[in-house]
A and B are shown apart, each in its own frame.
Chain A
Amino acid sequence: MTQVIQEETGQAPILGHTPESKRNWRKYFTFSTDHKVIGIQYLVSSFFFYLVGGALATAIRTELATPDVDFVSREVYNGLFTVHATVMIFLWIVPAATGAFGNYLIPLLIGARDMAFPKLNAVAFWMIPPGGILLLCSFFVGAPGAGWTSYPPLSLVVNKPGEAIWILSVLLLGTSSILGAVNFLVTLLKMRAPGMTLNKMPLFCWAMLATSALILLSTPVLAGALILLAFDLIVGTAFFNPVGGGNPIVYQHMFWFYSHPAVYIMILPIFGLISEILPVHARKPIFGYKAIAYSSLAISFLGLIVWAHHMFTSGTPPWLRMFFMINTMIIAVPTGIKIWSWLATLWGGKLRLNSALLFGMGFLSMFVIGGISGVMLAAVPFDIHVHDTYFVVAHLHYVLFGGSVFGLYAATYHWFPKMSGRMANETLGRIHFALTFIGFNLAFLPMHKLGLEGMNRRIAEYDPKFATLNFVCTVGTYILAVSTFPFLFNMVWSIYKGVRAPSNPWSGLTFEWLTTSPPPVENFEVDPVLTIGPYEYGTEEAKEVVAAGPVLAMVASGLAKA
């Protein structure tokens, strides 16, 4: 416990005072141990990789615009979707959801000066760029062509150098993720401000607690699987290679033991972000705090025992399929609790329909579709029909794009004033939302029908009867690609030319709004003490806290003393 209630008043931070002179872009390229710098390093670098992954997706959809193979070769095509998935998962959503917002927000939300292990934090971040560059370099030697799942024996026979690079890269990124998770756990459990019990933590902290536990339990298993796969690939052992008596199904179990929880690693932090964003802009307390908090833990636990639902058509015995089917379906219950609670939070509020809330509500709307198709996929007889088809592609994009990416955009708009000290442009934000929403649904909604009718995934050529819908998907993808430009322009322009942000532009109650924008080094002039719950909107105290501005931290410590 490093938190000390500071009783002396010290010099009061002045409203609107930003250490502008100290803002130095060079620090973002250094081995900084400041959690805010690291958070922004994560955010910007993962967004860079998002653009790379998006470019790969655009290439994939360009190939699929017509039934024939006419844009890239089949080998390159397999490399495109393999690297696309790997980049989007390991270099965009995981680092952006956990690394970027986890690092930036957790110390601020719990009133700490930094993460528990600042150097470890920097080490974790600096594994991302080499891992990412390594992965992209695999295109020079023939990109890995076995899909992001890298099922042996295929992964052991095609593009071996690319596959080896893929394994090394994912091992690096997984290690980074593990280091980050340790840091989050310790920080959350040990460094909360006085008065902040677990049940008074902001919900993002609960979500990150559940996520970190999940990362620590599951990622080492992926590392194990990949190391064994590397032995099979490079040394010629036969853990998974049937030529030497190995069992490829064992790899699938080990892989999905991580990679299904990975879905929750990518969505739980987003659930947390949404739980922060909705109440602030709806001006209402979050509905059912405890239900949302504990359902994160329930999802985290259940997430560990559903992995084999990815293997219903593989070599799994029937009774096992039933076990995993029921577990998977039960996850709909805690997830449903969250969705109803968010709806109830919005209901009757005074919605500030800005870019952040639009993306937040877009998240809700799109994620529900992914959730419904998820329950469908859990049903074994139905999954046997649609497994490895475009129905699954549609489902996973509704969850990961409609869910995670919409949530990440919402969070970026929501915390942009805090991070940069400037307000983002609302008009551009709304254009961005409209384009993203339209493009996303055009690109992915038709895929449900494609999959049901018989279009399998990971193919460069398809039956001409699917041509029309595929063309629609491709048009949607181009709109999505275009939608990133208003966002990029908005961010870059606003950082330099945006209206200067007040410390609390949204009248939020969590600690990050009670310090300056951007926060000073070590976050708070005076260590804050919890005097008001994070979601007490609609109360008199809330008005006072918001009115007091950044001075509150000090007032609060005075109150706590009294």
Chain B
Amino acid sequence: MNIPSSITTLLIGIAITAASFWYGQNHGLMPVEASAEAPLVDGLFDLMMTIGTGLFLIVQGAIIYAAIKFRRKPGDDTDGPYIEGNIPLEILWTSIPAVIVLGIAVYSFEVYTSMGGLNPMDHSVAHHHTAPTVATAPGAAIAAPLSTAPSLDPKGAIADVSEVDGIPGTPTTLPEMTIETTALQYAWLFTYPDSGVVAGELHVPVGTRVHLKINANDVLHAFWVPEYRLKQDAIPGQTTELTFTPNRTGEYPVICAELCGPYHGAMKSVVVAQTPTEFNAWLDSQKVASSDVDGAAIALSPTAKPATAQTPDEFLAPFVHQMGFTPEMAHQLHSQHGAIAKS
């Protein structure tokens, strides 16, 4: 009697464990991993899925088993056994979950640290500070959204970055790059301080630690790339930061994840992860376009309907064509100046 039931329990336990481990590894719920941070997050998620699946199977199994096995027989009006509790059992089911959640907490802490979350020297995922030069201006844009974009001034941006960012002594050997990110209703603007290029799409070279310094011009927004597993709110009046290392070329969506108005769902852009060579070529092609039409673009942007949510890139494209610019020309121009994009 006892031996078969304990064998059954053991077998069920093994089956649940096996099913949990299998599902934890094969759930297929996450999108592609396109950054160095993504596998860390996915590892944590897989672990939690494994534990969660086990718990799910145990609890649901117990409920269904009870509903079948312990249902009252017709005509049986007696009560069940008088069992008020079982202290050792209660201690067990208090301490095991406690150990499990503490384990998950420690693991999460580890993951967060290795993503650079806790080390401000490392341009943490989370670290934010109020940047004085920026803080004074963006709020003013609420009154007239889109009409002012002070942080877009390339020279100011470069000066700002070199001041605030003067801690290059990071332990990593990867090349680094800082990109000023501005969120506004309903578009993203990415400014490359070293070259002054402003784009509506985020182009990044793979294998580079990319620091985003994020500002909002009007209301709260949030920068999210699902394939990078990273998200950071953009807050008017404050600069927030996000660091990631793209490691897979391709185009991935940039999504605004914080409600920012009626066209919140349309506030999208893309991150284009390229090889460093492709990236430099793109940057060169943009430099010309950006420096010439930048002012016009910003001055004109209030007329652009938010509905279309045009990125400056889309906006600029016709101008560039009218002027007869081709990427080749831009490249030539660039090489004449002898400027080499920071790699």
Q: What per-residue 1/0 map shows which CB atoms of A350-377 lie under 8 Å from chain B?
A: 1111000000010011001100110110
Q: How far is the CA of A78 from the CA of B264 in the complex (A)?
A: 10
Contact A151 to B56, CB < 8 A, known contacts A351-B67, A380-B112, A460-B265: no
Known: A285-B82, A460-B265. A313 touches B259 (CB 8 A): no
Majority secondary structure of chain B interface residues (helix, strand, loop or mixed): mixed
Given contacts A153-B218, A247-B237, A313-B232, contact A458 B264 (CB under 8 A): yes
A329 to B104, Cβ gap below 8 A? yes
> Assuming the A-B contacts A288-B85, A459-B265, are A449 and B59 also in contact, with contact meaning beta carbons closer than 8 angstroms in the complex?
no
Q: Is the CB of A372 within 8 A of B55?
A: yes
**Contact yes or no, B255 A454, CB < 8 A:** yes
**Are B29 and A376 in contact (CB-based, < 8 A)?**
no
The interface stretch among A16-24, A186-194, A223-231, A317-325 is A317-325
Assess whether A315 is interfacial by the CB under 8 Å rule.
Answer: yes
A154–B261 touching, CB < 8 Å = yes
Q: Which range holds the interface residue count of chain A? A: 35 or more
In the complex, what distance in Å separates the CA atom of A369 from the CA atom of B52? 8
A289 to B82, CA, bound (A): 13
CB neighbours (8 Å) of A448 from chain B are 29
Interface residues of A in 240-255 (CB under 8 A from B): 241-245, 247-249
Q: Are A453 and B30 in contact (CB under 8 A)?
A: yes
Give the residues in chain A near B124, CB-CB below 8 Å: 318
- Stretch touching chain B among A29-37, A263-271, A334-342, A493-501: A334-342
Cβ contact within 8 Å between A332 and B44: no
Q: Does B279 contact A (CB under 8 A)?
A: no
Q: Is A381 part of the contact surface with B, judged by Cβ < 8 Å?
A: yes
**Cβ contacts B107-128/A at 8 Å (1 or 0 each):** 0110110010110100011111
User: CB < 8 Å: which of A284, A347, A380, A381 contacts B62?
Assistant: A347
Q: From the candidates B48, B86, B105, name the one contacting A325 in the complex (CB within 8 A).
A: B105
Q: Are A74 and B265 in contact, with the CB atoms below 8 A?
A: yes
CA distance A282 to B81 in the complex (A): 10
Q: For chain B residues 74-99, which have a beta carbon within 8 Å of chain A?
A: 76, 78-86, 89-90, 93-94, 97-98
CA distance A535 to B267 in the complex (A): 56
CA distance A33 to B63 in the complex (A): 41
- What is the CA–CA distance of A243 and B143 in the complex, to the nearest angstrom? 8
A145 at the interface (CB under 8 A from B): yes
B277 to chain A, nearest CB (A): 29
For the complex, is B229 an interface residue (Cβ under 8 Å from A)? yes
A380 vs B128: C-alpha distance when bound (angstroms): 16
A274-292 near B? 1/0 per residue, CB < 8 Å: 0000000011111111110
CB within 8 Å of A: which of B8-66? 29-31, 40-41, 44-45, 48, 52, 55-56, 59-60, 62-63, 66
Do A78 and B259 touch (CB < 8 A)?
A: yes
Interface members, chain A 190-216 (any B CB < 8 Å): none
Q: A154-B260, A243-B143, A318-B124 are in contact. Are A454 and B253 (CB under 8 A)?
A: yes
Closest chain A CB from B140 CB (angstroms): 6
A-B contact pairs, 30 of them (CB 8 A): A78-B259, A145-B261, A145-B262, A242-B235, A244-B139, A285-B83, A287-B85, A315-B128, A318-B117, A318-B118, A322-B109, A326-B102, A336-B93, A337-B93, A344-B86, A346-B70, A349-B80, A368-B60, A375-B48, A375-B52, A380-B108, A381-B108, A387-B231, A389-B257, A456-B256, A456-B265, A460-B262, A537-B82, A538-B81, A538-B83
Interface residues of A (CB under 8 A from B): 69, 73-75, 77-78, 145-147, 151, 153-154, 157-158, 241-245, 247-249, 282-291, 313-319, 321-322, 325-326, 329-330, 332-333, 336-337, 339-341, 343-344, 346-353, 361, 364-365, 368-369, 372-373, 375-376, 379-382, 384-385, 387-389, 448-449, 452-454, 456, 458-463, 535-539, 542-543
Q: Given A322-B112, A389-B257, list of 16 further CB < 8 A pairs?
A: A69-B265, A145-B262, A158-B262, A243-B142, A287-B85, A318-B125, A325-B105, A343-B63, A350-B76, A353-B72, A379-B48, A382-B48, A384-B229, A458-B259, A459-B265, A536-B82
- Which 4 residue pairs spanning A and B have beta carbons closest together? A459-B265, A454-B226, A242-B237, A538-B82
